[in-house]
């Protein structure tokens, strides 16, 4: 075992309809799109307890954010939690094997290489805004799950990874699956819809984050929860979600937006100014405060970003697109590494290779490293039911 690097995408809620609070949970009807703002996690075995170091590439304020993250205890980091969860699974399997076969403590991979490490070292490269409603922490967890699954030779299926991911957070399965997916009930029932046509976005960042629990509290205080939610995918929603931007703009919905704008007058002012541009549409991403602006194409996104970045209270604008593939192994280091091109890239993503580089893609090592075909490639289930999770 040497090292494995994996990446996972941020997510954007194209639709977020929220029901009334029931026994401490909000039922949801949500459609996610995975974006090419990818978090990268490199995992290496270590001789001591698991630890993590994070590098932040988010423009202004990155160093301050980086220092704050690295001051936290490792167990507060979702990537570490995800990796430790799989390390425990590997230890459990090894113990079962020893009891069954009276063997010594060897790895659970087919090659039976070395004993399991006491801990794991995580190097996290963050490009997704924190507390911005884009699931950056969940993407870290998704990437860590895929990387550690490969590193320890666990060979967990996508279904198994999704179930473990749901234990860590409601958005982790969406980052694992990628593409466009539907979430029903309490975020515990997901269906893969496909990749669809490419959509171009400008993600508008502001200086301070928003607490998801606080947004939901305001939402509940004003009794904004829906009495009824769809119990299955509405046909017209699939057509719009996978169609061109001119159709997608009629689908975009976020029930939490009113609460987020109420809590943050600066966001309301920015949203008003965006609505006076030629953007196709705009909405708050998840619980906010990031605002997602839909563009006609990549060039239009760049033009919008230049205009919106001049607005008061806007810290930065990032151009991105979706949908993209979910969590995947990018590189292996050591004797097991291969230098073959990936074969699981979709035709949609292949068509993007000639697109102008965005601020995010220019710094993405996954775009320059030679990825390998040894990534875990279990068939993604088209529909799955996961453990009930909170927002």
136 assigned ligand-binding residue: yes
Q: Is 203 annotated as a binding residue?
A: no
Please tell me whether 130 is known to bind a ligand: yes
Distance CA 139, CA 40 (A): 9
Known active-site residue 63: no
Q: Is 375 annotated as a binding residue?
A: no
Q: Is 263 annotated as a binding residue?
A: no
Known active-site residue 11: yes
What gap in Å lies between CA 291 and CA 131, rounded to an integer? 12
* 214 in Cβ contact with 203 (< 8 Å): no
Peptide linkage before 323 cis (omega within 30 of 0)? yes
Burial 197-230 (b: 16+ CB within 10 A, else e): ebbbbbbbbbeebbebeebbebbeeeeebeeebe
CA distance 303 to 361: 17
Q: Select which of 140, 171, 188, 255 is catalytic.
A: 171
The answer to whether the annotation marks 298 as part of a ligand binding site is: no
Q: Catalytic residue among 11, 81, 192, 240, which? A: 11
DSSP structure class, residue 102: -
119 is in an annotated binding site: no
Cα–Cα distance, 262 to 60 (Å, whole number): 26
> In the structure encoding, which two tokens stand for residue 337, read together?
């590494």
- DSSP per-residue string spanning 253-286: EETTHHHHHHH-HHHHHHHHHHTTTT-SEEEE-T
Q: Which residues are annotated as a binding site for ATP?
A: 129-139
Q: Which residues are annotated as a binding site?
A: 129-139
Residue positions annotated with a catalytic role:
11, 171
């Amino acid at each position: 075992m040497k090292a494995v690097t994996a990446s996972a995408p941020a997510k954007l809620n194209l639709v977020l309809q929220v029901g009334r609070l029931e026994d401490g949970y909000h039922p949801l009807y949500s459609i996610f799109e995975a974006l090419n703002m990818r978090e990268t996690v490199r995992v290496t075995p270590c001789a001591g307890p698991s630890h993590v170091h994070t590098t932040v590439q988010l423009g202004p304020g990155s160093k301050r954010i980086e220092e704050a993250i690295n001051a936290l205890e490792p167990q507060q980091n979702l990537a570490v939690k995800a990796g430790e969860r799989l390390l425990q699974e590997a230890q459990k399997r090894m113990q079962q094997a020893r009891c069954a076969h009276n063997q010594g403590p060897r790895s659970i991979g087919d090659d039976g290489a070395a004993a399991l490490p006491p801990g794991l070292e995580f190097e996290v490269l963050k490009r997704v805004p924190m507390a911005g409603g884009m699931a950056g922490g969940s993407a870290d967890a998704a990437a860590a799950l895929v990387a550690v699954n490969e590193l320890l030779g666990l060979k967990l299926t996508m279904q198994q990874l999704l179930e473990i991911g749901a234990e860590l957070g409601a958005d982790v399965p969406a980052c694992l699956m990628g593409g466009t997916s539907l979430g029903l009930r309490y975020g515990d029932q997901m269906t893969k819809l496909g990749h669809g046509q490419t959509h171009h976005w400008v993600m508008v960042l502001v200086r301070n984050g928003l607490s998801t629990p606080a947004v939901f509290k305001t939402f509940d205080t004003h009794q904004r929860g829906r009495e009824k939610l769809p119990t299955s995918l509405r046909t017209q929603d699939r057509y719009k979600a996978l169609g061109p931007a001119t159709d997608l703009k009629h689908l975009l919905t976020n029930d939490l937006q009113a609460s987020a704008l109420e809590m943050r007058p600066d966001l309301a002012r920015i949203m008003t100014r965006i609505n006076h541009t030629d953007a196709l549409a705009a909405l708050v991403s998840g619980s906010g405060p990031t605002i997602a602006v839909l563009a006609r194409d990549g060039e239009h996104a760049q033009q919008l970003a230049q205009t919106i970045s001049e607005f008061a209270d806007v810290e930065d604008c990032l151009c991105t697109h979706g949908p993209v593939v979910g969590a995947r192994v990018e590189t292996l280091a050591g004797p097991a590494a291969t230098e073959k091109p990936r074969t699981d890239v979709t035709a949609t993503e292949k068509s993007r290779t000639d697109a102008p580089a965005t601020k995010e893609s220019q710094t993405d090592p996954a775009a320059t490293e030679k990825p390998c075909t040894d990534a875990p490639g279990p068939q993604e289930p088209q529909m799955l039911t996961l453990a009930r999770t909170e927002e």
